[in-house]
Amino acid sequence: MLCKLRLEKSYKSLINYYFSSCGYYHTALISEDGRLFLFGNNSDRQLGRSIPDQHIGPLEVSLPDPIKAVACGNQHTVVLTEKGEVYTCGMIYNFYSKFTN
């Protein structure tokens, strides 16, 4: 199901997305063209940023290939690319990672 998300005024267009996932305090969206957007709390680096902070608005995460699926856990994010590579970020069992495959 295709949905449209209206962003803040700083973004000029809509993101047409076909998949979303929600964690405890963060959310992930995959756009029609396979781009990944994350927003919410980054205290455990679940948005893929190297410093713990909060990023309220959608943050486009650059990965080498289009994204096929994403799953948000309590304090982590797992991403599957169309080539079958898996990337993780956030805290998983007290282990911090930053988009590694």
Range of the domain at 27: 17-100
Q: What is the pTM (predicted TM-score) of this model?
A: 0.75
**Does residue 41 fall inside a structural domain?**
yes
pLDDT digits (tens, 9 = 90+) for 46-88: 888 877 777 767 788 889 999 999 999 988 999 999 999 999 8
Is it the case that residue 29 has pLDDT exceeding 50?
Answer: yes
Is it the case that residue 9 has pLDDT exceeding 70?
Answer: no
The whole-number average pLDDT for the span 9-22 is 65
Cα 91 to Cα 5, 15, 78, 100: the distances in Å are: 28, 28, 11, 13
Is residue 86 packed enough to be buried (19+ CB in 10 Å), middle (13-18) or exposed (0-12)? exposed
Number of other residues whose CB lies within 10 A of the CB of residue 60? 11
**Does residue 10 fall inside a structural domain?**
no
**Does residue 48 fall inside a structural domain?**
yes
**Does residue 24 fall inside a structural domain?**
yes
